[in-house]
Structure 1
Amino acid sequence: MATFTIRGAVARSIPSFYDELNRLFMTGEDWKLGPSLDALDDLLYGGYGALQGDDAVRVVWSDHAVSREALGRETTAAYYREKLRHPETYSREHFSELLAQLETGTGQTYFDIILEIFAHHPGIDLVLD
């Protein structure tokens, strides 16, 4: 089983998280993942990059507490507010609801959403270290 390590001390923002994913999984590809939860989900299906052809891999997220804090409520609220600035592209109702949930303490953080996406891929063993 191949093992990949996300460096949590480096993944301190949404862009730096995707930079870390690109470092790990997109070496040798002539394109990179953009900062998108859908792109993360697509990557974990394993059709390209370092995951291509692997049925099962382990991803160790070292110093995950650093990333958990960095991708927490504040970052997530800013992410939702940015989506709300573009109602021509994103659902105002949807992101307003997500922001309200976050502000009342019932919503998921960006970090929580990442963990949920990993959990939907049984061939990926995510280890928080």
Structure 2
Amino acid sequence: MSTSNKNNKKTAVINGSHFSDLYGFYEEVSRVLMKNQDWKVGTLDGFNDILYGGFGVFENNEEIEIIWKESQKSKEDLGFDATKEFYENKIKQEKPFNINLIHEKLDELTDGNGQTLFEILIEIIESHKNITLILD
């Protein structure tokens, strides 16, 4: 387990060398942040939910630090191609997704204005004010 205490702040380490796609990212954060839990993260919303704390390695609103090692590798792994595939798979599945919204997101991505999965994950983490993210 990669958590430690320093200055009363828990530290969790996500290691980009442990995964190369979004599914692998979910496996890694489940292992690191959800120890001893019966369920695993499997969606962006689920990832956001565990960052609220209370059922993994940290409590609600507890100050924590997440160190994302090999983040440059993750930025490439979860970049344009992976994001395009992510949206295309959702469009193929159709329900329960908002297909018009996903088409918009895909168009933004291909026009060079959309967020990659890596950027979306960073935004989700940074939306939690109790979490400090360090890209290593």
Same fold (TM over 0.5): yes
TM-score, normalised relative to structure 2: 0.90
Secondary structure at the counterpart of residue 106 of structure 1: coil
Task: Determine the C-alpha separation between the residues in 2 that align with 1:63 and 1:28.
Answer: 25
TM-score, normalised relative to structure 1: 0.94
Letter in 2 for 1:88: K
List per-residue Cα deviations over 1:21-61 (Å, max 9, x = no partner): 01101111122222x11011101111211123561000000
In the alignment, does 2:106 pair up with 1:99?
A: yes
Secondary structure at the counterpart of residue 126 of structure 1: strand
Contact 2:52 2:61 in 1 (8 A): no
Aligned residues: 128
Map 1:33-44 to 2 at 5 A: 33-34=41-42, 36-44=43-51
Structure 1 position 88, deviation (Å): 2.5
* Identity, % of aligned positions: 34
Letter in 1 for 2:89: E
Higher relative contact order at CA 8 Å, sep ≥6: structure 1 or structure 2? Answer: 1
Gaps spanning 5+ residues in structure 2: where? Answer: 1-8
Task: Determine the C-alpha separation between the residues in 1 that align with 2:40 and 2:94.
Answer: 26
Q: CA RMSD in A?
A: 1.1
Match of 2:130 among 106, 123, 127: 123
Task: Determine the C-alpha separation between the residues in 1 that align with 2:112 and 2:37.
Answer: 39
Gaps spanning 5+ residues in structure 1: where? Answer: none
Map 1:32-111 to 2 at 5 A: 32-34=40-42, 36-53=43-60, 55-111=62-118
